[in-house]
Amino acid sequence: MGLRSLRLAVLRHVYFVGQSEFLPQQNRNLSAVARHTAVICLTEHQSHSVIFRRWHGGHSHEDHHQHLREEGGSAEGIFRLGLAADVALSIGKAFTGYVCGSTAIIADAAHSATDVVLSGVALWSYRAANAPKDEEHPYGHGKFESLGALGISAMLVGTAGGIGWHAFEILQGLLASTPDIVNHTLEHHHNHNQYHGGHHGFDLDHPVLALSMTILSISVKEGLYWITRRAGEKEGSGLMKANAWHHRADAISSIVALIGIGGSLLGIPFVDPLAGLVVSGMIMKAGIEAGYQSVMELVDAGAPSSILMPIRETITQVEGIMGCHRLRGRKAGSFLYLDVHIEILLFHAVPLRWTRERI
């Protein structure tokens, strides 16, 4: 049903068909229904008894937890990869900026150093979210993912605001001095024709090295974006999706710098701030969307019907299930907690293992 990316977990209400009272506490034996620890409560279709079936799946708990550890290790490896890449790029940019005598590249290295901190926060949030349940957190620690995603979203919005404000100030300055820019552009073309592309006002000791480092940074960051985004979609993790956009924001910022250099070389200074405004809007949109989703998870907003409807269809396809109602869900990071009431025939064996595998 396309829901393997969501790890399902606990729920708890069981009641008689046709009655509004809840069962006594001692009768609330819950039945697991999902890949992780999800619970479906089974009630009979007619009579006054409730049929409970505790389902542990088709494998041992040891195998199940081993599977989750392998999944978590794979996802954690992506966070580690992003952190290692940020460290390497920060060192590489600092060295390149020093050798080339470029303050812009050195400033970019400082920005990459802040990315190291952000990637470290993302890794910590993911590890905290996947910690085992304890007495203080009986439902697990999944919302640490949501908190981490909210923090990264705030950083994205701040980055977008900084890029946009800087671009706006440059654009204002250019508009205020438009006649001078026209004269400068004409002079630039005259010099270009006279000297055939000689010196263009950029005093770099090793321009090829500087350009190569910038292109490498863009390639690495864009690659990390796609790797992290796909993993986030597979895991259903808002934290990974937000971190993916953090990588893309860095790549796009470097692209804007290249566009600005190209525009200056061509005598078109307006290209740089205009590109900056467009990029600012893209990053701002991604940050707001990721932040909104994180807030909805933190306040226990209901799962959308696009997630719940396929689960309902799967449950009702099981032989012996007479009805399914009050299906509700809420996300906590990459975990989905479900609450559902299911009516079954008295003493009817329901193939819960088949249901779990379909979900």
pLDDT in tens, 172-190: 887 887 655 445 544 544 4
d(Cα 77, Cα 73) in Å, to the nearest integer? 6
pLDDT, greater one: 258 or 12: 258
The pLDDT value recorded for residue 235 is: 78
Share of the chain above pLDDT 70, in %: 64
Q: Assess whether pLDDT exceeds 60 at residue 14.
A: no
The pLDDT value recorded for residue 159 is: 80
Confirm whether pTM is higher than 0.75.
Answer: no
What pLDDT band is residue 227 in, cutting at 50, 70 and 90?
very high
Q: At the topology level of CATH, where does 7-55+302-358 sit?
A: Alpha-Beta Plaits (3.30.70)
The pLDDT value recorded for residue 103 is: 64
Tell me: the pLDDT tens digits for 234-270?
Answer: 877 788 888 888 888 888 777 776 776 666 667 777 7
Nearest C-alpha neighbor of 229 from the set 150, 286, 305: 286
What pLDDT band is residue 359 in, cutting at 50, 70 and 90?
low
d(Cα 282, Cα 63) in Å, to the nearest integer? 43
The pLDDT value recorded for residue 294 is: 85
pLDDT, greater one: 237 or 230: 230
pLDDT, greater one: 109 or 240: 240
The pLDDT value recorded for residue 220 is: 92
Could you state, in order of their start, the residue ranges of all structural domains in the chain?
7-55+302-358, 64-298
Q: What is the residue whose two structure tokens read 């009986």?
A: 138
Per mean pLDDT, which of 17-26, 48-57, 92-101, 345-354 is the most reliable? 92-101
Please say whether the beta carbons of 108 and 159 come within 8 A.
no
- Angstrom distances, CA of residue 324 to CA of 40, 44, 91, 312: 10, 11, 57, 7
CB atoms within 10 A of CB 339: 17
Tell me: the pLDDT tens digits for 295-321?
Answer: 888 888 888 888 888 888 888 877 777
One-letter-per-residue 3-state SS of the chain: CCCCCCEEECCCCCECCCCCCECCHHHCCCEECCCCCCEEEEEECCCCCCCCCCCCCCCCHHHHHHHHHHHHHHHHHHHHHHHHHHHHHHHHHHHHHHHHCCHHHHHHHHHHHHHHHHHHHHHHHHHHHCCCCCCCCCCCCCHHHHHHHHHHHHHHHHHHHHHHHHHHHHHHHHHHCHHHHHHHHHHHHHHHHHHCCCCCCCCCCCHHHHHHHHHHHHHHHHHHHHHHHHHHHHHCCHHHHHHHHHHHHHHHHHHHHHHHHHHHHCCCCCHHHHHHHHHHHHHHHHHHHHHHHHHHHHCCCECCHHHHHHHHHHHHCCCCEEEEEEEEEEEECCEEEEEEEEEECCCCCCCHHHHHHHC
Amino acid at 159: T
Tokens of 262: 């190209």
The pLDDT value recorded for residue 223 is: 93
The pLDDT value recorded for residue 180 is: 55
Nearest C-alpha neighbor of 343 from the set 20, 29, 50, 28: 50
pLDDT, greater one: 353 or 19: 353
Q: What is the residue whose two structure tokens read 């890029």?
A: 163
Please say whether the beta carbons of 33 and 61 come within 8 A.
no
Tell me: the pLDDT tens digits for 117-175?
Answer: 888 888 888 888 888 888 888 878 888 888 888 888 888 888 888 878 887 888 888 78
Q: Right CATH number for 64-298 from 3.90.1150.10, 2.60.120.10, 1.10.3720.10, 1.20.1510.10? A: 1.20.1510.10
What pLDDT band is residue 350 in, cutting at 50, 70 and 90?
low
The pLDDT value recorded for residue 38 is: 35
The pLDDT value recorded for residue 346 is: 63
Angle at 215 between CA 163 and CA 279, to 5 degrees: 25
Please say whether the beta carbons of 115 and 88 come within 8 A.
no
The pLDDT value recorded for residue 57 is: 33
The pLDDT value recorded for residue 333 is: 74
- Angstrom distances, CA of residue 347 to CA of 18, 22, 77, 352: 19, 21, 46, 14
The pLDDT value recorded for residue 133 is: 83
The pLDDT value recorded for residue 34 is: 32
Please say whether the beta carbons of 114 and 133 come within 8 A.
no
